[in-house]
Chain A
């Protein structure tokens, strides 16, 4: 549906995007992940036609972003970075204005406005001035604006930035709900965010795509070890010694004793499931097991690894 071919973007001699290509299919929820300044916002601005690429092409089906920008803009709902809003307008006024700008027919405007007010939970706030709203509600207004013309594609630039944890969850749920029937592209530098909402991730660093795939794929690509966390009561030296003998245990990262409880971090071969044999070992020796957990390498580790290489 969206095809990005070899786009580069140069700002006064600074190469913000360096030959990026990717494709997005219908109903995908794609996360653009990268540190600040990696080129996420620039990519999204090119996708929305706000910037033109210095080189390369962006196609929406058969439409070209430079030649058919109006037609493409009608298909896109966009929430820019930092959610700029016409603060002095009331929520409803603003949404009506947005609807008029998208060529909605007059009788349909009211219907569309009421629908997005409903979807985004803005009913009680619809007659308030936007400047008086809390950040979470402003974010909803921004989303409502992006949804007003029922676009096929939703482009969201850091949609949960600057929100408190509760608001983050609300917005995330809202995006998930919307994502069921639309193609969504969102950017973020918060990994848990992307992991929770997206079914595909593009990791971007210094203007290049350094990895892409589902969150699970990305994890398996870069991990060969798994960490196991263990809390056990018993003689410390003996436990460490016995654990080291187990096949698949590569290293005991740390062992700490607090009161009678020993906390151990064990690095193991990720191709083997070791939890069972560890539990057996502990029970057979008559020690007390308090806790055992496998720690997946998080997307965070992958992110740090990929974006620090250069």
Chain B
């Protein structure tokens, strides 16, 4: 546990020591606010649903940027060899990096609270739905982070890590979308619908925190973190 905290602290320090964190947070806030408020006054509804419908698309491109360097850089500079010969277990390093990136995204989401706060001054906002949606956004982000972190462990090239993570996250996100479902044979429809990241997010976005959705997200996170430990351990047997 102590190791995990130390790694979280170090990784967070890395984020905020580089311009990446500030660029990321600025882009995220500017783009999400702009896209949302562009149509907000036309719709004239005190609801954040359009905002949360935007989020997955932003996450899709921005989260791989947060995870791409986590392993790729360690592999490239060979610092992984130092890290894994210290007295730590592999999963501690993986969890440390995962939670560091999750805390970073949580901070970004906290900064985006300016949106619901300003809406609530204009009209009555249903905070229950907003909180559920934020929780859903965090789960979605965590799933994307786990995917990105795993991809980063496959390569020592950050650009490749970024592109592959976008591609894989996009694929998993789209599997459950309607236009994919139409193209699939009947017996696969249910499965694809269940596997799609997007469909689960849509139901949370309606304000329904269903345990099935939460379990789904937690399993995606678990699967990719597990794959990550396998990938990291495979160095020993290559």
Which chain A residues have a beta carbon within 8 Å of chain B's beta carbons? 11-12, 45, 48-52, 70, 73-74, 76, 78, 80-82, 84-89, 93, 97-98, 100-103, 145, 149
Give min CB distance, B77 to chain A, whole Å: 5
Contacts of A87 in B (CB 8 A): 77
Q: Does chain A have a CB within 8 A of B14?
A: yes
Q: List 8 A-B contacts (CB under 8 A).
A: A11-B238, A80-B85, A82-B78, A85-B79, A88-B14, A102-B87, A103-B87, A145-B82
Type the 1/0 row for B1-20, where 1 means its CB is closer than 8 Å to any CB of A: 01100100010011001100
Cβ of A45 to closest chain B Cβ, rounded Å: 8
Residues on B with C-beta less than 8 A from A81 are 78
Interface size on B, residues (CB 8 A): 24
Within 8 A of A (CB), among B222-238: 235-238
Main secondary structure of the interface of A (DSSP, over half): loop
On chain B, the residues within 8 Å of A101 by CB distance are: 3, 6, 83, 86-88
From A76, A84, A100, A102, B79 is in contact (CB under 8 Å) with A84
Residue of B6, B81, B89 with highest tally of chain A CB at under 10 A: B81
Any chain A CB within 8 A of the CB of B57?
A: no
A84 touches B237 (CB 8 A): no
| CA–CA, A11 and B84, complex, Å | 20
For the complex of A and B, 7 pairs with smallest distance between CB atoms:
A101-B86, A84-B78, A100-B6, A52-B236, A73-B87, A80-B81, A84-B79
Residue in A closest to B76 when the chains form the complex, CB atoms: A84
> In the complex, which residue of chain A has the Cβ closest to the Cβ of B84?
A50
Q: How far is the CA of A50 from the CA of B90 in the complex (A)?
A: 11
Q: Is the CB of A48 within 8 A of B14?
A: no
**B60, chain A: closest CB distance, angstroms:** 28
Chain A hits for B77, CB < 8 A = 84, 87
Nearest CB of chain B from residue A116's CB, rounded to whole Å:
15
A267 CB to closest chain B CB (Å) equals 47
Contacting pair B78 A50 (CB below 8 A)? no
Q: Which residues on A sit within 8 Å (CB–CB) of B86? A: 73, 98, 101-102
- Closest-CB distance, B197 to chain A (whole angstroms): 33
B81 touches A50 (CB 8 A): yes
Given contacts A84-B79, A85-B79, A88-B18, contact A76 B85 (CB under 8 A): yes
Given contacts A45-B81, A73-B87, A78-B82, 10 further A-B contacts (CB under 8 A): A11-B238, A49-B236, A52-B236, A74-B87, A88-B17, A93-B13, A101-B3, A101-B83, A102-B86, A103-B3
Question: How near does chain A come to B86, taking the closest CB pair, in angstroms?
Answer: 4
Q: What residues on B are CB-neighbors of A52 within 8 Å?
A: 236-237
Name the CB-closest residue of A to B6: A100
List chain A residues, Cβ under 8 A from B81: 45, 50, 80, 84
Q: What's the nearest-Cβ distance from chain B to residue A230, in Å?
A: 51
Who on chain A is nearest to B92 by CB? A101
